[in-house]
Amino acid sequence: MKLLIFEWAAGTFTYNDITQWFLKKGITYRTVSYQFEDKNEDEFFENRFMKVLGDDDYDAVFSVNYFPLVAVCCNRCNIRYISWSYDNPLDVADIEKTLGLECNHVFLFDRIQTEGYKKQGFTNVHHMPLAVNCERLESVKLTKQEQALYTSDVSFVGKMYDSMFPQYRELMDDHCKGYIDALVAAQSKVFGYWFAEEMLTDDLMKRINDHFKVLKPGTEFVLPREALAYALACQITKTDRLILLNLLAKRMKVNVYSWEKCELLQNVNFMGSCDYYGQMTKVFKASSINLNITLKISQSGIPLRVMDILGSGGFLLSNYQPEIAENFINGEDVVMYESIEDAYEKAIYYIRHDDLRRQIAESGHNRTKELFSYDGQLGKIFEISGIL
Amino acid sequence: MNIIYLINSKEYNYHKSLATDFSEVTGGSIIDMGDGTALGVRYNEIADAAPDVIITFDLAGHALRTGNDTLSLNNIYARYAHILFHKPDHYGRSLEARQNLSMFTYIPNGNDEETVKCRYTEIPNIKGFGPFSYKPANDKERDDNTESIRRWWDDFRKEAMI
């Protein structure tokens, strides 16, 4: 079998583990990459990519995350296009315009997101949880210096999210501001069910957009529901992360790994960024508690960060996510919290119980190895796509 | 059209004069990667300029790398021409780095393009360039160079759809 892999120019976290599986299976591949300015319209890209497709007899095109113009080219050449996403939302405007193309076999890690597309009639969208290369992560060892550098009570790897919410809110009338504030307050208290988007009704969106026009006559800007929902999710997630990390930092050593320093974080050790294939595993191995605080808009799926922590053998303290609950036993394989207060109390409890924490981490690691290997997940993907 | 030349005059003493010759045909400004400026600062300067076209000599921009050792230039949306004045072997492993589809690598005429394509599989577009004398000895060679630059520029604009 011969594959053409399309990769986002900035690179993708799971590329090396996926291509390692291809090599193991004797699947040959060529990789091409590109940096899009507009994922939906790029004549130059179409031209070049069509040439690449014509260079060889490929059985399929594969990509991590979904790219509409790759789908358009594949459809034109009658070549299967398989994509497996670790992003949620997919960050593709007007995705409905290409998702239904016959060439597409789209795999998403979030079941609720998948069901949403299926309800819209996209039967070629499938649910596929992410995977982790446990063997690779098991082989990562820490030197004494690294152990000293990365050891902490709590570690968090991730960003604080810059949300457009304050800017959008500023442009709303008082009624909409009140409604949105109440919505944010309510959604902040609920873990495991994202209802905010449903509450952004057509009437509300019309009122918000009408008010924009009053403030800026002649504006062509229209705020889409999805953009406001994403901004709300970022805002709530950012607040959750800030509150929890600041609370924990008052009681224990908290290391935060992120590209950008957030001035609102107090008493935490800002460690800068950590690279995916090198340092991140070491961070998870050396930390007593690894925090996962999922972006609110991701409704049910198990994020890649959770896979990375469990695959590394780290102890996971995560917000409640339905698919984590379905696949792991809370308190035995992982620990989930249902509010910020709950997260705080559980962190205090587990930091005092070393043996229990190690036992849970080991059990979670074994379960992850059993359920979420690349061999298993990619095997299913290729079988569903009809090429294995 | 916003065109940037990336050269390294510290490593290749002929880059400055060649960049002047090229830019007389194409227009554009010149950034010298060999002037001691920190690479991170350089990258931001290039990205902030939002160029339409980036032309590099002897892989002068390949020194800019991400944390995962991929080419940082891959992340800047532009069309690229990497012009090599030496045989591919001269560049060691630099030519093994993955280039994105918007990059066109020009190797000196006389090299077998197909062999180079097979050897460097991460380069999506390889084309011949020349005849060209990177150290022109007289006016005749200089005139010939100008003609080659004109032909190359026409070809590149066509391929890059600009």
Q: Closest Cα of chain A to B162: distance in Å?
A: 9
Cα–Cα distance list, A97 to A113, A222, A378 (Å): 17, 19, 26
Q: Is the Cβ–Cβ distance between A317 and A346 less than 8 Å?
A: yes
Which residues does A144 contact at the CB level (< 8 Å), separation at least 6?
A: none
Band of residue A102 on the pLDDT scale cut at 50, 70, 90: very high
Query: How is residue B8 annotated by DSSP?
Result: -
pLDDT at position A257 is 97
Q: Is B114 near chain A, with CB under 8 Å?
A: no
Q: Which residues of B touch A34 (CB under 8 A)?
A: 100-102
Q: Which residues of A touch B125 (CB under 8 A)?
A: 48
CA B75/CA A9 separation, integer angstroms = 6
Map tokens 């981490």 to a residue: A361
Query: How is residue B58 annotated by DSSP?
Result: T
pLDDT digit string, tens, across residues A224-263 = 999 999 999 999 999 999 999 999 999 999 999 998 899 9
Catalogue all structural domains in chain A, each as residue range(s) with its CATH number: 2-131+376-384 (3.40.50.2000), 134-161+234-372 (3.40.50.2000), 165-222 (no CATH)
pLDDT at position A272 is 93
Domain borders along chain B are 3-159
**pLDDT at residue A91 is higher than 90:** no
pLDDT digit string, tens, across residues A190-212 = 988 899 999 999 999 999 999 99
**pLDDT at residue A388 is higher than 80:** no
- The predicted model scores a pTM of 0.92
Quote the ipTM score.
0.92
pLDDT at position A191 is 85
CA A100/CA A123 separation, integer angstroms = 8
Q: Which residues of B touch A276 (CB under 8 A)?
A: 68
Q: Closest Cα of chain A to B122: distance in Å?
A: 7
Q: Closest Cα of chain A to B136: distance in Å?
A: 35
Question: Which residue has better confidence, A79 or B114?
Answer: A79
Q: Is A387 exposed, middle or buried (0-12, 13-18, 19+ CB in 10 A)?
A: middle
Q: Is B70 near chain A, with CB under 8 Å?
A: yes
pLDDT at position B66 is 86
pLDDT at position B103 is 97
Q: Which residues of B touch A9 (CB under 8 A)?
A: 74-75, 100
Band of residue A277 on the pLDDT scale cut at 50, 70, 90: confident
3-class DSSP state for residue B46? helix
Q: Is the Cβ–Cβ distance between A111 and A301 less than 8 Å?
A: yes
pLDDT at position A162 is 86
Q: Is the Cβ–Cβ distance between A275 and A14 less than 8 Å?
A: no
Q: Is A43 near chain B, with CB under 8 Å?
A: yes
The two three-digit tokens of residue B136, written as one number: 């022109």
CA A302/CA A320 separation, integer angstroms = 10
pLDDT digit string, tens, across residues A331-370 = 999 999 999 999 999 999 999 999 999 999 999 999 999 9
pLDDT at position A111 is 96
Band of residue A90 on the pLDDT scale cut at 50, 70, 90: confident
Question: Which residue has better confidence, A46 or A259?
Answer: A46
3-class SS string, chain A = CEEEEEEECCCCCCHHHHHHHHHHCCCEEEEEEECCCCCCCCHHHHHHHHHHHHHCCCCEEEEECCCHHHHHHHHHHCCEEEEEECCCCCCCCCCHHHHCCCCEEEEECCHHHHHHHHHCCCCCEEECCCCCCHHHHHCCCCCHHHHHHHCEEEEEECCCCCCCHHHHHHCCCHHHHHHHHHHHHHHHHCCCCCCHHHHCCHHHHHHHHHHHHHHCCCCCCCCCHHHHHHHHHHHHHHHHHHHHHHHHHHHCCEEEECCCCCCCCCCCEECCCCCCCCHHHHHHHHEEEEEECCCCCCCCCCCHHHHHHHHHCCCEEEECCHHHHHHCCECCCEEEECCHHHHHHHHHHHHCCHHHHHHHHHHHHHHHHHHCCHHHHHHHHHHHCCCC
Contact assignment for A11 to B68 by CB distance below 8 Å: yes
pLDDT at position A11 is 83
pLDDT at position B67 is 77
pLDDT digit string, tens, across residues B115-128 = 888 999 999 999 99
Residue of A nearest to B74 (CA): A9
**Amino acid letter for position A287:** S
> For residue A153, how many other CB atoms are within 10 A of its CB?
18
Q: Is A170 near chain B, with CB under 8 Å?
A: no
**Amino acid letter for position A217:** P
Fold of B3-159: Rossmann fold (3.40.50)
Helices (H), chain B: 15-26, 39-48, 113-119, 139-159
Q: Which residues of chain B have pLDDT under 50?
A: none
pLDDT at position B114 is 87
Contact assignment for A35 to B124 by CB distance below 8 Å: no
Q: Which residues of A touch B50 (CB under 8 A)?
A: none
Q: Closest Cα of chain B to A43: distance in Å?
A: 9
**Amino acid letter for position A64:** V
Q: Is A29 near chain B, with CB under 8 Å?
A: no
